[in-house]
Structure 1
Amino acid sequence: MLNQVVLIGRLTRDPELRYTPGNGVAVCNFSLAVERPFTNRQGEREADFINIVTWRKQAEQCANHLGKGRLVAVNGRLQMRSYETQDGQTRRVAEVVGESVRFLDWPKNSNKNSGSNYSESGFGNQGSSDNSGSDQFGFGGEEYQVDDDDVPF
């Protein structure tokens, strides 16, 4: 069986970090806007808004380093769950459990050339042990700037 999802998109809101009662496991929720690969009848691109959940160290890294508008790649699995509303109705939701989150852009308030290593400050491929210092995002060593016009919301 295979259940694998790969998404690239921008956060629609700041991540929400909380801890489970009892054992205190970190869990982080955020939503990604992912553009569709085609245009609608008006020639505009539409986006899907997909809920992401991360756990433990990955959750803390996302909560500490991500914010609304940041570009990320998420590798994970699709999960269906249900819950009961206050009026007794059962709701089913689909979400992606992010097993690996890559930060694909620089925070607006950071400077790549400030002397700190991007991967050492918690950014980059959270599932990789490659600390070669090379540009692992395919930007060819150039700083990638996010323009507000790039954000689909």
Structure 2
Amino acid sequence: MSALWAERRSVAALTFLAAVSLLGRPGLIRRFVRTRARPWTRRLVRTISTRSTMQPHNDAPVAVLSAVAVEPVFQGSGVGVRLVALFLERADARGAAAAELVTLTGPGGADRFYERLGWSAVGVHTTRDGHTVRSYRYLLASQPGSPARSIGRADGSP
């Protein structure tokens, strides 16, 4: 239960930060109110009042991978694979049942990267900006009923 409250506090803190950031930019406030305020508020209320629909049935926490960034000079060297592996190892050690992420599809996206690492696609949708994104899930090995699998190695193999 404390993880749920921590998540809600994080959402509230981000909401406050977004509101404060908008105060200094009146033109941006008008555009936000005209184009995004209603759907953003609905989504925020849904996030605060419900749990993720992707969460496993056993109510174990779900780890969310927000972003992985690797300098272009290091891309292809295995650094990204290792960062994801460390994230999964720590999520598993802290008792998460699964990890989830969302990434762009096609050029500029990392969908093939995550598929190569063993993540399973669970949904596709188009954002309000017209970008196609895909949701992924990775079941962690320490959960009952999950197949034991390698989280990732520095050599680039899953």
TM-score range normalised by the length of the shorter chain: under 0.3
Give the number of the structure whose residues are more often helix, by fraction. Answer: 2
TM-score (norm 1): 0.23
Of Structure 1 and Structure 2, the greater strand share is in 1
